[in-house]
């Protein structure tokens, strides 16, 4: 059962990497300035969202330790990587539709 979940996770992660790669390849066909603008917008939105996720995680950790007196596990790096890739893919698609052809 654990191997099945791990295979599904890495398959999903590979799919995200392939989709982002295909989007970046399709952006390469456009002009340099527009391509760089779209990628910069997607990166800035992704950065802002990830900072928000980290602040929420820190707030939840402080609440769990100070109010409930529980120990806190850190965020899984794999889940964090998946969140980053999904957010980047969605913002890249959005900006490509908005500013692309």
Look at the chain and report how many structural domains it folds into.
1
Q: How large is the angle between the packed helices 2-28 and 77-99, nearest 10 degrees?
A: 30
Q: Residue 45's pLDDT is what?
A: 94
Domain that holds residue 84: 2-99
Cα separation, 69 vs 79, whole angstroms: 25
Report CA-CA distances (Å) from 52 to 20, 44, 81: 22, 12, 15
Q: Residue 30's pLDDT is what?
A: 62
Q: Say if residue 49's pLDDT is above 90.
A: yes
**How many CB atoms neighbour CB 63 within 10 A?**
12
Question: Taking phi first (over 0 means left), then psi (-120 to 50 degrees means alpha), and beta for anything else, what does residue 70 get?
Answer: beta
Q: Residue 55's pLDDT is what?
A: 94
Residue with the larger pLDDT of the pair 77 and 66: 66
Q: Say if residue 25's pLDDT is above 80.
A: no
Reported as a pLDDT band with limits 50, 70 and 90, residue 101 is low
Q: Residue 14's pLDDT is what?
A: 86
Cα separation, 82 vs 80, whole angstroms: 5
């Amino acid at each position: 059962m654990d191997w099945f979940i791990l295979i599904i996770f890495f398959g999903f992660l590979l799919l995200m990497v392939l989709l982002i790669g295909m989007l970046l390849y399709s952006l390469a066909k456009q002009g340099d300035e527009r391509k760089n603008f779209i990628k910069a917008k997607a990166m800035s939105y992704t950065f802002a969202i990830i900072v928000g996720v980290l602040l929420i995680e820190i707030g939840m950790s402080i609440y769990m330790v100070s109010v409930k007196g529980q120990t806190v596990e850190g965020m899984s790096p794999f889940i964090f990587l998946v969140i980053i890739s999904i957010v980047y893919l969605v913002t890249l698609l959005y900006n490509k539709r908005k500013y692309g052809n």
